[in-house]
Amino acid sequence: MDIAGEAARLVTALTGVEVDESLEILKIMADAEVAHVKNFCNVTDVPSGLYEWIIQAVAGKYIRIAKKTLLGNSALSVAKSIQEGDTKVEFGGKTPEELLDELADELTKERDLVCYRKIRW
């Protein structure tokens, strides 16, 4: 299974920014996640039920490290308030960066790993 390619497609689908699936960083992150799952679960092969989780984790970690690329320069500084004369407008809500952080947090949660864990003897 091409975990890096699937993660790139997931990031593209979630953010609308085209991500090249041949990026070396995605391959490195995918290999690291596979190793993490094998070590955590104490198995030699990744259980088939965890591939989707690995893809989400790689996508979330890529989103976290590539925020600047995904947001572009225009979204790096968002005005919180504007004042003109005696009129002041304050913007509430979340910045695009905060939204990406929340998305990355959701994608990288360790949900089902414990279900596949085997006891070490």
For residue 21, the model assigns a pLDDT of 84
How many percent of the chain have pLDDT more than 90?
41
Around 96, how many Cα atoms within 13 Å sit in the side-chain half-sphere? 17
Tokens read off for 28? 């490195």
| Pairing verdict, β 87-90 and 81-84 | antiparallel
Give kind and range of the element (H or E) at residue 88: strand 87-90
Q: What is the pLDDT of residues 46-81, one digit of tens each?
A: 999 899 999 999 999 999 999 888 887 655 444 567
pLDDT band at 111 (very low <50, low <70, confident <90, very high): confident
Q: How far apart are CA 69 and CA 10, in angstroms?
A: 16
Q: How far apart are CA 110 and CA 88, in angstroms?
A: 43
pLDDT exceeds cutoff 80 at 121: no
Q: What value does the mean pLDDT of the chain take?
A: 85
State mean pLDDT over 24-36: 95
How many CB atoms neighbour CB 10 within 10 A? 20
Which pTM was predicted? Answer: 0.80
